[in-house]
Amino acid sequence: MGTTNRKHIVVVGAGFGGVKVAQLLSKEPVDVTVVDRNNFHLFQPLLYQLSTSELDENEITYPIRAFFRNKPNVNFFMAHAEGFRPEEKILVTDHGNLAYDYLVLAAGATTNFFGMESVEKNSFGMKTLQESIAIRNHVLRSFEQASRSGDPEERRRLMTFVCVGGGPTGVECAGALSELLYNVIAHEYHGINLQEARVVLVEATDKVLAMMPESLQQETVRVLRDVRHVDVRLGAQVMDYDGRELKFKDGQVLPTATVIWAAGVKAVSLMKELGTETDRAGRVVVTPTLQIREHPEIFAIGDCANFMQDGRPLATVAPVATQQAVVCVENIKTLLRGGSNLKNFVYKDVGAMATICRGHAVVAMGSMKMRGFFAWCAWMVVHLMRLAGTYTNLTVVYKWFWNFLFGLRLGRVISDTEMRD
């Protein structure tokens, strides 16, 4: 790194935004270093399918280095970015310092428990591969524990799965857990009593999928309740969870061994280290040109950046990050040429979509609304197109097809069993 006289651009994070930035910069006469604590790009929108045993690690990850196989000017540096020395243009990591000419922060977000320590300690976030594997192992192990238990109360607690948060992640996870329960578990646990099992979706406001038109919100709740037997609880605010009982603000208590928390995100803590303005979710405030005002050689994009548009910060979704990546690279190229006429970013809304379960999805693009089977097909096509590689896409197509036909989920591996002899 930095062995040539070319400018060195360091990109923190290999999510949708960071990979796009590095891909665009790879065509320029610059040196690029991608920093990530993981050696893989993670397709976060499908994490819930790993958690529910439908897809495997390989399908929702892609080796970061594989993106840059034929790009000798792009290097990968596996490390955890920990801080900054902006005056010296140095990024501090747990494996040493990296000097940069330009720095792009695309470090992403983590789960926001809003300061509820008991919930943070006892429930599962679902933002990383490691968390998703932990959910899969825990859910499968809970069924095994229930199958060994002679206590109906304990079985009910073990087979009550709660997703908190009515956004796409919570909705998709609840639907997929319900499918796992009724299409797989029901057939393979010969003594199971399905009356003792349930999936609960908890949302603090009075609606799910806030970004969707009202008719699609209602359709989503209807499908979850009627088709997938999910216990949807709107206006239910979580107060506390000790690992055994989930407590709500209105005094209700729900015994459960599994709480998946998908009710909020915040920027990774690295962003605080800049010492510049951040919003309530820890996202660093950027200029219309995506720069940090105090350090114009530092750009921030995606979930870790607060970009105001129409008086509101943009949502933490992949299209924002990839669109910002394009403008970020254009602006860096302008600066490299010695120019100063930087471009302002404007987000073009691409709509929203969420899958509810096999054969059911909701899609809203501009004034167009879709629901049901065709919306579900559209959801699949969009997600397949966005997945990293042809190779990956085909195994995903294959697994989805198989699951559609036979309801079989062979990703049911409890991989963290402690081995003694």
Q: How far is the CB of 237 from a copy of itself (least distance, A)?
A: 25
Q: Residue 64 in 3-state DSSP?
A: helix
Nearer to a copy of itself, 182 or 402 (CB): 402
Convert residues 382-411 into a mask of x (bound to a copy of itself by CB under 8 A) and - (unbound): -------x-xx-xx--xx--x-----x-xx
Closest alpha carbon to 10 in 70, 93, 94: 93
For a copy of itself, the closer of residues 63 and 372 by Cβ is 63
Q: Does 76 bind a copy of itself (CB under 8 A)?
A: yes
Q: Does 99 bind a copy of itself (CB under 8 A)?
A: no
Contact assessment for residue 89 and residue 98, using Cβ atoms and an 8 Å cutoff? no
**DSSP summary character for residue 230:** -
Rounded CA-CA distance 6/336 in Å is 10
Please say which residue, 62 or 345, places its beta carbon nearer to a copy of itself: 62
Q: What is the spatial distance between Cα 83 and Cα 204, in angstroms, rounded to a whole number?
A: 35
Contact status: 23 vs a copy of itself (CB under 8 A): no
Among 4, 27, 29, 39, binds a copy of itself (CB under 8 A): 39
**Candidate list 16, 68, 84, 376; residue touching a copy of itself; CB under 8 A:** 68
Dihedral-angle region of residue 353 (phi above 0 means left; psi in -120 to 50 means alpha; beta otherwise) = beta
| Phi, psi for residue 126 in degrees, rounded to 5 | -140, 60
Looking at residue 343, what DSSP letter applies?
A: P
For residues 57 and 349, which CB has a smaller minimum distance to a copy of itself in the complex?
A: 57
- 336 — phi, psi (to 5°)? -65, -35
- Please pick, from the candidates 23, 26, 128, 393, the single residue that binds a copy of itself as defined by CB under 8 A: 128
Report angle CA 218, 223, 229 to the nearest 5 degrees.
125
Cβ distance 339 to 202 under 8 Å?
A: no
Catalytic, out of 172, 179, 203, 219: 172
Residues 133-172 that bind a copy of itself (CB under 8 A): 133, 140-141, 144, 147-148
Candidate list 57, 231, 240, 279; residue touching a copy of itself; CB under 8 A: 57
131 lies in the site for a copy of itself, by CB under 8 A = yes
Nearest to 329 by CA among 23, 13, 107: 23
Chain centroid to Cα 158, Å, comes to 26
Number of residues in contact with a copy of itself under rule CB under 8 A: 63
172 catalytic, yes or no? yes
Q: What minimum distance in Å lies between the beta carbon of 110 and a copy of itself? A: 5
Interface with a copy of itself (CB under 8 A), residue from 44, 51, 61, 160:
61
- What SS3 class is residue 139? helix
Residues 6 or more apart from 277 whose CB is under 8 A from it? 284, 285, 293
- Does residue number 270 form part of the binding site for a copy of itself (CB under 8 A)? yes
Number of residues assigned to the chain: 421
Q: How far is CA 367 from the centre of its chain?
A: 26
Location of structure tokens 């603000």: 249
For residue 412, state whether it binds a copy of itself (rule: CB under 8 A).
yes
CB of 50 to a copy of itself, least distance (A): 11
Interface pattern 182-201 for a copy of itself (x via CB under 8 A): -----xxxxx----------
Residue with tokens 């243009």: 89
Which residues contribute to the site for a copy of itself (CB under 8 A)?
37-40, 56-58, 61-63, 65-66, 68-69, 72, 74-80, 95-96, 110, 128-131, 133, 140-141, 144, 147-148, 187-191, 268-270, 389, 391-392, 394-395, 398-399, 402, 408, 410-417, 419-421
Known catalytic residues?
172
